[in-house]
Structure 1
Amino acid sequence: MLKLVVSRVLAAIPLLLLVAFLSFALLELANRGTDPAARIAGEGASADQIEQVRQNLNLDAPMVVRYVEWVAHALTGDLGTSLYSGQPVTDALMERIWITGSLALWAIVLTVVIGIPLGVWAAVRQGSVVDRAVTTLAALLMSVPPFVLGLVLVITFAITRAWLPATGYVTIAEGGIVEWSRHLILPALALAAVSAAELARQTRGSIVDAMNKDYVRTARAKGLAERGVLWKHTMKNASVSIVTVLGMQMGRILGGAVTVEFVFAISGLGMLGYTAVVQRDLPVVQGVVIISALVVLVCNLLVDMSYGYLNPKIRK
């Protein structure tokens, strides 16, 4: 098991460097034909002032040189400084990561609470009206973008009925757990809908497949109750694929956070990344990309580690 963890961690290092380089290169291509120094210096800036900005920010150096310098500073925890606000990127990320982290936590919880029970319910009633209804609902939810569902939720629960806040974010220190939760339910539900639908489909398929295995028929032949067969034998063996799909949803949730945070006016990593892309603020974009990639890699590592518990063969 330790060997598996070490190999995954070592494999993540070049992957992070590759992700950072690709984002660096894409933004460099996007900046072609424009002068970032002129935009930062502002309208009416003289040529000398623009040149001074270019030198101060090292924008006159080749892309490869700037990338190598960025990596060297990143290894010390310094992700650079925003080209527009002058704020250290690390500080900006730390301010926003807890907001997006809270939203992602709620989304993951809702994904599990909604997706797995629906999948199990559909599997144990295979071919019934319940099965068809769950399958249809899952397909419908997977076809609706998170920002569209977010608008529907705002209109239904915030504007029409005024049950929940339509926008904003409140920390636990500011409003307590209740207000913190009330502000996150709608955006988290918008984020979790697609993931819950995917998890429900995977749970149903895995359980239905496991129910046809010999060990399940043997357990039933021994006279075990159907509930025990489901949870002790079927569910445990189907859980590997379920956990795999659940781990993959973290990337989807982080990607969907960009539009959902925009709809609900939440100043998280998604909004920070969106603003940085619009302004072509390379250091901030790099920081958002690298922290998002790191979170996804950590989630994948946790999923790999869970395989050792779910499948004892992997521990050897």
Structure 2
Amino acid sequence: MVKMILKRLAQSIPMIITISIVSFLLIRVAPGDPVRALVTPESSFEDIERIREAMGLNDNYLVQYARWAKAVLQGDFGYSFSNHRPVLEQIVERLPQTLGLMVSALIISLVIGTIIGIISAMNNGGIFDKIFTFLSYVGISIPSFWFAMILIHILSLKLGWLPSIGMRTLGVETTADLIKHSIMPVLTLSISDTATISRYVRARVVSELKEDYVMTEKAQGFSKTDLFFKSILKNSLLPIITILGMGLPRLISGAFITESIFGWPGLGQLGMNAIFKYDYPLIMATTMFASLLLIFGNLLSDILYMIVDPRIKEAQ
């Protein structure tokens, strides 16, 4: 397993370099000028050029990238153009909020999706199966931003059950208040993965129920509980890990949209605000950290693969 982890880490280095180069170039060629946010109508051309020179924007792209990459390798992500605070400090402040949102959504998706998939498979062709199948198609197809707006309109504006924005109520530091604020963002972030997992679990369980070993174990007197949990469910776990690995990019990109809509103070909101302010150092930092989260998630998915299926471990 250690050999596999080291191999995956080595393979991720060219990927990280490529992501950094592409992101750097896209940011630089995009319309907009960060200097304009720092000048006043009274600023002269000389003043603007001095600011541009101080920000290092007069050098060619190769020099700018080399300077940025050298600083990052030393652990220095620079200072924000918009608020002049260390970029790494802001990332560290916001990262736990994003991770908490993503992990909560992932757990909700896994638990609810698996339960729905199992119930649907055990009632194959029945009324529950048809209802859950319809709902899963809706969950897969519905745009997350539209679903977020619907939740805010119904649960917050109409019914007044949940707060519509932020992570905490001002002056309130209770766990209950945090949970109330997180319900709608977590639901928005988890709906697509919940629907996808439920479909895959249903298909896998239905397929496993038709296997010969199920009939053999039934004939040997295995109880339904032992048969299901020790054999069928275990053999159905591998596709779930596949879906979780495939869903990580959607989860990370969805966090950016969800955090912006609900005012959740995480990495996604920080990155979106940086984009609107042309804050190059902050945009690069959030992009790289999001990429690292994705790479780490895929590595974790590979490790889980080997735990569930020892044959993969032997093939490494």
Read off the aligned partner of 2:198 and give its amino acid letter: A
Contact in 2 for aligned 1:37/1:59 (Cα 8 Å) = no
Contact in 1 for aligned 2:71/2:78 (Cα 8 Å) = yes
State the partner residue of 1:3.
3
State the partner residue of 2:130.
132
State the partner residue of 2:280.
282
Superposed CA deviations along residues 73-98 of structure 1, whole A, max 9, x for unmatched, are 11222112112221111111122112
SS at match of 1:148: helix
Query: What is the TM-score with the length of structure 2 in the denominator?
Result: 0.93
State the partner residue of 1:295.
293
Q: Distance in 2 between matches of 1:235 and 1:3?
A: 29
State the partner residue of 1:53.
51
State the partner residue of 1:17.
17
Moved over 4 A (4+): none
State the partner residue of 1:216.
214
135-144 vs 247-256, which moves further: 247-256
Alignment of 1:54-203 (within 5 A): 54-170=52-168, 175-203=173-201
Q: Give the count of matched residue pairs.
A: 313
State the partner residue of 2:202.
204
Read off the aligned partner of 2:303 and give its amino acid letter: M
Cα deviation, residue 213, structure 1 = 2.6
SS at match of 2:236: helix
Q: Distance in 2 between matches of 1:254 and 1:131?
A: 30
Cα deviation, residue 262, structure 1 = 2.2
Q: Distance in 2 between matches of 1:202 and 1:92?
A: 38
SS at match of 2:38: helix
CA RMSD of aligned residues (A): 1.8
Q: Distance in 1 between matches of 2:64 and 2:217?
A: 63
Superposed CA deviations along residues 33-90 of structure 1, whole A, max 9, x for unmatched, are x544344334332121111112111111111221122111112221121122211111
Q: Distance in 2 between matches of 1:216 and 1:57?
A: 67
Q: Quick one: structure 1 residues 235 and 278, their matched pair in 2 at CA, closer, same or farther if it must change by over 3 Å? A: same
Contact in 2 for aligned 1:89/1:283 (Cα 8 Å) = yes
Contact in 2 for aligned 1:258/1:269 (Cα 8 Å) = yes
State the partner residue of 1:229.
227
Q: Quick one: structure 1 residues 6 and 132, their matched pair in 2 at CA, closer, same or farther if it must change by over 3 Å? A: same
Alignment of 1:295-314 (within 5 A): 295-314=293-312
Contact in 1 for aligned 2:34/2:277 (Cα 8 Å) = no
State the partner residue of 1:29.
29
Cα deviation, residue 9, structure 1 = 1.0
> What stretches of structure 1 of length at least 5 have no aligned partner?
none
Superposed CA deviations along residues 197-216 of structure 1, whole A, max 9, x for unmatched, are 11111111222222233333
Q: How much identity, in percent, do the aligned residues show?
A: 30
Alignment of 1:261-272 (within 5 A): 261-272=259-270
Superposed CA deviations along residues 101-131 of structure 1, whole A, max 9, x for unmatched, are 2221221121122111001111122122211
Cα deviation, residue 196, structure 1 = 0.6
Contact in 1 for aligned 2:148/2:185 (Cα 8 Å) = yes
State the partner residue of 1:253.
251
Q: Distance in 2 between matches of 1:182 and 1:278?
A: 29
Read off the aligned partner of 2:122 and give its amino acid letter: V
11-20 vs 154-163, which moves further: 154-163
> What stretches of structure 2 of length at least 5 have no aligned partner?
none
Contact in 1 for aligned 2:20/2:288 (Cα 8 Å) = yes
Query: What is the TM-score with the length of structure 1 in the denominator?
Result: 0.93
Contact in 2 for aligned 1:37/1:51 (Cα 8 Å) = no
